[in-house]
Amino acid sequence: MRWQCRRGLLELDCIFEDYLQQRYVHAPQQEQQLFRELLNQQDPDLQAWILYGEQAPGHLLPIIKVLRAEP
């Protein structure tokens, strides 16, 4: 999963790797599942949703909110 967190865009790399290291293990199973699903999305979509706040698919909103709230 660590390799999936490497996206080639520094901002996404940092967000995903921080989440994986700091929160993933302690997160509820549903949140973990959403994170794994998010990693299967295309980079331009991830960038738009996480970095630019564009509307994401409804079922992914909880994990995107978590990622956007991370310091």
* The pLDDT value given to residue 31: 97
Mean pLDDT by 10 residues, the chain (71 residues): 87 95 96 97 95 94 91 56
Domain locations in the chain? Answer: 2-69
Q: C-alpha angle 33/39/42, rounded to 5°?
A: 140
Opening angle at CA 59, ends 36 and 65, nearest 5: 75
49 neighbors 64 (Cβ within 8 angstroms): yes
C-alpha span between 45 and 25 (Å, rounded): 25
* Residue indicated by tokens 């995107």: 64
What are the structure tokens assigned to 16, written together? 């995903």
pLDDT of residue 61: 96
Please give the class, per CATH, of domain 2-69: mainly alpha
